[in-house]
Chain A
Amino acid sequence: MRVILADDSTLLREGLIRLLADEGHEVTAAVGDGDALLAAVGQDPPDVAVIDVRMPPTHTDEGLRAALEIRRRRPGTPVLVLSQYVEGRYAAELLSGEPSGVGYLLKDRVVDVEEFLHALERVAAGGTAFDPEVVRRLLARSSHGDPLARLTPREHEVLHLMAQGHTNAAIAGRLWVSRSAVEKHINAIFDKLGLPRTGGYSRRVLAVLRYLGS
């Protein structure tokens, strides 16, 4: 894949470039701030952009702003946002547009090289990838008179994995159950949460996350 990196820490940029090169991906540009990122994406659209939330000048949420701007200018450009802290608001904002090809991971997640690369590939392929920690927080703070409380522990696990962006097959693999069992759980979850049954898996993630983060 062709990847653009945006992170103000040169150390981390170097590390990521090596990591991706190991896997045979190509880093077409590595930049340190939002403006340079927008310019680089405009010049040569990548298969996916990996963006750190905190960048100069203010070190607050420039990266996220830039990611949203990229999505506004070129809908469908896959972006994977890395963040030092879990922010439900960021996840919600990323999902407020077209819900395909977005990811939001804790920065520390790149340490699990395997996981990180999978997430990157999922996002580039138009799927979603949400950090387990983000999902856990969203699940924990959801306060809807709490239909979530009506879920069984198993259904909770399924919802959790679903929210991270895993496919039914992947969920089945992780929980050591059959795919049809997973589908049954998912239907039960949708019923309990009062969500319309729809097809595409990113849309259901979106539905779940929107519901949780609203």
Chain B
Amino acid sequence: MRHALHRWTRMAAGLAAGAATVPPALAVLALAALRPRAGRAAAVRLATGERHRVERLLGGVPPAAGPVPPRAALRYLAARLPLGLLGALVLVSALVGAAYASLLVWGWPFYYDRWHLVMPSGVGGSFLLFLAACAAYAVAAFEAALVRRFLGPTRRQALERRIEELAESRAGVVAAVHEERRRIERDLHDGVQQRLVALGMLLGRARRHGGTGPGGDDLIHQAQQQTRQALAELRDVAWRVYPALLDEAGLRAALEAVAERSPLPVGLDYRVPAEPPRDVAAVAYFVVSEAITNAVKHSGARRVDVRLDLPDDAPALTVRVRDDGRGGADPAGGGLTGLARRAAALDGRLGVRSPPGGPTVISAELPCA
């Protein structure tokens, strides 16, 4: 109910503003007839403003593909004059209808003796209000159609833009995968492999010692320790490659595990009623774990707070990771770039706010449609 009321208010404001721009539009058109250059500049400004009004208050317009060309601006202003007046008419009708309809509520005590005369006015007013509401929808749709028709983006422009976006995010995904593989190779090479070589050396030395006696025994004991550490490291690397828990027990469990493994205290506020789609869950997981890793490594933070939200009627899962460290995180850094690319691949967005002195907030919006 509140939502609907809000939408109606926005629409009414949009129509009112549209009606209010009729006189300036007339003035601009007249100016353009007399002094073309000044007129054109004014037309571009006014048309751009109109475009924002329709985008914000009425909707139905995709984002602009570029600046408004002057001739298109003039044509648009001329074309929407009648529409502005129509919008005004619809609003006035709505007010008149509402006034008469309200008789049904407060008219009783005043007109109780002439009720048979007043009643039809109230009913007629209600119907006029209903008609005006329908007309408001129609006018809003017309407004959006005019903007699309004259100011773009045309369907074709919108498609081209979408293709550009897709090409960019596809390249980004490829780059992110490449980067991740490099990181995995480095993880294996710098950690597990070195440890195994060291372990082999220990065993080799033990054999040269003859494997018995105090020296050899000590070496074998060290080798055993190395084996344990190599196993722990291998487990860590495997986990960083893909947290199996994500598939087995879902996003919440995987995030709880990340929080438990973190050397910093991590508060997890999880408000997602149903398990999100798997690719969304995976990206959300990596955003959180990368942000926590960064906080541990670079920020000097004392604690990290993680919050995930997916209200019932929201189209996107929002992830927010805040640390109380020293800030100054670089969005262009390797890990964060990879996350931004992953989010873009889902048509989502990654935001990094990290002023010097902190706090750092890393947020992601991941559409779940």
The chain A residues found within 8 Å of chain B, CB to CB, are: 8-9, 11-12, 14-16, 18-19, 22, 54, 59, 84, 107-108, 110-114
In whole angstroms, what is the CA distance A84 to B190 when docked?
10
Closest to B229 in A: A11
The chain B residues found within 8 Å of chain A, CB to CB, are: 186, 189-190, 193-195, 197-198, 200-205, 207-208
Chain B residues, Cβ within 8 Å of A18 = 201, 205
* Interface CB pairs A-B, < 8 A, 26: A8-B190, A9-B194, A11-B194, A12-B194, A12-B198, A14-B198, A15-B197, A15-B202, A16-B201, A18-B205, A19-B204, A54-B189, A59-B186, A84-B189, A84-B193, A107-B193, A108-B197, A110-B200, A111-B197, A111-B204, A112-B204, A113-B201, A113-B204, A113-B207, A114-B204, A114-B208
Verify B197–A22 contact, CB threshold 8 A: no
Chain B residues, Cβ within 8 Å of A114 = 204, 208
Verify B208–A111 contact, CB threshold 8 A: no
Q: Which among A11, A22, A110 has the greatest number of chain B C-beta atoms within 10 A?
A: A11
In whole angstroms, what is the CA distance A143 to B208 when docked?
41
Chain A interface mostly:
helix
Q: Which among A107, A112, A113 has the greatest number of chain B C-beta atoms within 10 A?
A: A113
Number of A-B contacts (CB under 8 A): 47
The distance from the CB of B159 to the nearest CB of chain A, in whole angstroms, is 42
Chain B residues, Cβ within 8 Å of A59 = 186
Known: A11-B194, A12-B194. A110 touches B201 (CB 8 A): yes
Known: A15-B202, A19-B201, A110-B200. A9 touches B207 (CB 8 A): no
Chain A residues, Cβ within 8 Å of B200 = 108, 110-111
Closest to A14 in B: B198
Known: A8-B190, A19-B205. 8 other contacts (CB 8 A): A9-B194, A12-B198, A18-B201, A84-B189, A107-B193, A111-B200, A111-B204, A113-B204
Query: Which residue in A12, A84, A113 is a CB contact (below 8 Å) of B208?
Result: A113
In whole angstroms, what is the CA distance A212 to B190 when docked?
31
Chain A residues, Cβ within 8 Å of B193 = 84, 107
